[in-house]
Chains A and B, each alone.
Chain A
């Protein structure tokens, strides 16, 4: 994480240029209808919007899980549309970290193994993986829980394991989808504090949420409506567009 802000890396972590995503469900549905957005490196962005506004589609595109129908999604200076499926998976593995509402930990792997899982697919040796995973678990305050299975952990602990896993490959961006949706108020603030802490350390954060107080932790809020950016709210008070 400490090297996230080094000079050799591009200033823009993710950029979207007039991105459209159309699903053919009987008649075409425009999930995203011309979205342009730049996520600077080291920024903390929240994306808000009602159901069906295109939040999930945007997440999938930025997370290299999907490709746009038109327009360009550039992650870490690579246009996702130019990549093969395999290269896209590699980019996702190394440059995107996911945090999900339902934690999505592997049920039969303990905390340490869950955190180390992305590095397994990167071909990093077992010893290095475990060192890195232990370090991150200690940073999220779970150094004493590394041998526990997910079902032996509380919701907040699970989400902290998920956050550690998202960070393990030193990604260009961390994508969190309703990260506090399944947490009570107290653990929610613990997790959001950790987000802030890692952001402070230079990690680029994108949080998708429908809760205002979660979004307000970010530097800016992108409001989506009907597949378009309704407005971008800079939380230092200035409003663009």
Chain B
């Protein structure tokens, strides 16, 4: 049925080549056709690298399938894969994605020896006492006193921030960076945010009002859907 129809349509755009993959034919067929199509096209060795975008339509590729696919494209040495897009993701991926975008609200005190961890953003209504710690893969917002440890961007997101109504932490951690309180006793500060300053490669603290300038993507909640 589909044998007459092309499984792969190649289009040239100003961003390079776009491969549109038919979503109804079998995967073997695609690989076969890809092989023939790419070998039949005459490739000039001196030709600059060509970017390839792949549109899968409503097809889902497992990691193994993707690897097989990429291997064929990469074997043609002047093609580089720019992007693979698909209209579908698995339920599991969708749930993880949703968790990453979610703000989990927790109302409690985090006392000495207690830890709270969430995936995504954390909104804590309560205090973090000395010896207590909170962590999140995203941002941390504390409506209360931060006297303990807060670790935002736990899985390496340096864009993550820690915001607290009262900031007097023993330690602040964002992604792979750490800063600690000075060795002399300090009064905390009210309404502050902590972020990573890429220029100096360290964690800085500023007034909460500066946050929208420092992290423009936080201005609206849709932000990370676009780069999810």
Whether chains A and B associate is: no
Interfacial residues, chain B to chain A (CB-CB below 8 A):
none
**Residues of chain A at the chain B interface (Cβ within 8 Å):** none
